[in-house]
Amino acid sequence: MKPIALFRRTALALLLGLGALSAHAAALQPITLDADALAHARTRVAARDARLLPAHAKLMEHAEALLKTQPESVTYKKLAPPSGDRHDYMSLAPYWWPDPSRPDGLPYVQRDGQFNPSAKNGDTDSVRMQIMCLGVQNLSVAWYFSRDARYARKAADYIRTWFLDPATRMNPNLRYGQAVMGRVDGRGIGLIDTRNLWMVIDAVALLEPAQVLSTAEVEALRAWFRTFTDWMLNDPLGVEEFNAHNNHGTFYDMQIASYALFSGDRETARRAVERGVDLRIASQISIEGKQYAELERTTPFHYSAFNLDAMTHLARYGELLGVDVWKKRERTRGLRNGINYLARYADKPASWPWRELNGHPESELALSVMLRAERAYGGSGYGRVAMGLPVTSFQTQEYIGLAKLLGTEPPTTLNVIDRLLWPIRTADAPAP
């Protein structure tokens, strides 16, 4: 080989290597969480700030309990999916029940807002998925605040077991998500089950200084999410979820943006965020801030906050892509109007004007929304609303499952840790 050709090839290899290293470094930054907010919280905890110490204590209590657990895997479920491959994720629709008028109960019938216990136990993967996500987040954040390598190693074990180990890894698809017995093997809305996978992505970034995941393992995880994103974009079930005009559609775009950012596909992420501004936010939030598709549900406060949770994630990803979702249509059909409407009632649940299945709204789900809004808008009273929300009564099926895993009472939940992830800097302005 001629010297000049050798030089060019060597230079090209170096450039490609530097590019790969640069992409790797960019990917290993928190995507959903804010590194500055986390650093601020860590400084305050080190200074023994009483406003954050309860959240920090709960974080470390749960992390210590998680050290005694075994990582979850889709291969541990009792029921086999229609494919016969236990590596395929499987869950049952939570609001569908056996038909009492039929001897075999088939096909199932819907009872909106009423959980069927069989959909939230060890028979399938739904609760198992949430336990994995919440466990990885808890352990990685505990590592970030303590630098105790035990938490980092356990978080890495959780990630390897669910995504990387050939014996236990999940296939990157949701063909059998939220099946309805006697009706359908899987549905597009099953993609709501993967809404918390962002916790795994951010955990990888938080764990990077601990060096508990090799570069090859991170690249393999990135490839998993790239394949899963492709499945979401092209499989008929993914397209079905894309077409949903409520929280399901919002969470679809939120997931696409998160996974694409982690995979290095900024163009796909940008399209998802920009689509979220018009197709999700503007079409779902009225000028008064009401989300009618969520208000018609049997637990309207829960679903209004649930949808805003996904929308605030999209706004966070917009920050990374130069798209200002927070202030888009701020006075009309924008995100802030939706947040303001919920903020009026979040810490005064008795004034909520919509009928609730249980007689009262699940106002604690608004906590993360209000904390992120305080960070985004600063001094607009959202922090004060957040401070008035309960921290020990959040009892979704996933949190109950995690509480059982940890050996704690169900009312002791991880939502208090949101106060550590999104610390309030100012909360003395009037409420919106």
**Alpha-helical regions (H) of 235-353:** 236-242, 247-263, 266-275, 283-284, 292-295, 300-321, 335-346
Residue range 332-384, pLDDT digits in tens: 899 999 999 999 999 999 999 999 998 988 887 899 999 999 999 998 899 99
Give the pLDDT mean for 289-305.
96
* 259 against 121, higher pLDDT: 259
Name the least confident of 102-111, 145-154, 354-363. 354-363
Q: How far apart are CA 189 and CA 393, in angstroms?
A: 27
Q: How far apart are CA 397 and CA 130, in angstroms?
A: 10
Structure confidence at residue 360 (pLDDT): 86
Structure confidence at residue 94 (pLDDT): 86
Is the bond into 349 cis (omega within 30 degrees of 0)? no
What domains, with CATH codes, occur in the chain?
38-74+120-171+196-421 (1.50.10.100)
19 pLDDT exceeds 70? Answer: no
Q: How far apart are CA 423 and CA 34, in angstroms?
A: 10
Q: What is the 3-state composition of the chain as percent helix, strand, coil, each rounded to the nearest 5?
A: 60, 5, 35
By C-alpha distance, which of 374, 375, 367, 387 is closest to 51?
387
Decide: helix, strand or coil at residue 375. Answer: helix
Q: How many CB atoms lie within 10 A of CB 337?
A: 20
Q: How far apart are CA 179 and CA 296, in angstroms?
A: 23
Decide: helix, strand or coil at residue 153. Answer: helix
Q: How far apart are CA 394 and CA 409, in angstroms?
A: 11
Give the pLDDT mean for 87-106.
93
pTM of the model: 0.88
**Ranges 50-54, 152-156, 179-183, most confident:** 152-156
Q: Which residues of 1-17 are buried (b: 16+ CB within 10 A; e: fewer)?
A: eeeeeeeeeeeeeeeee
Residue range 382-420, pLDDT digits in tens: 999 998 887 654 445 555 555 555 555 443 344 678 989
- Cα–chain-centroid distance for residue 152? 20
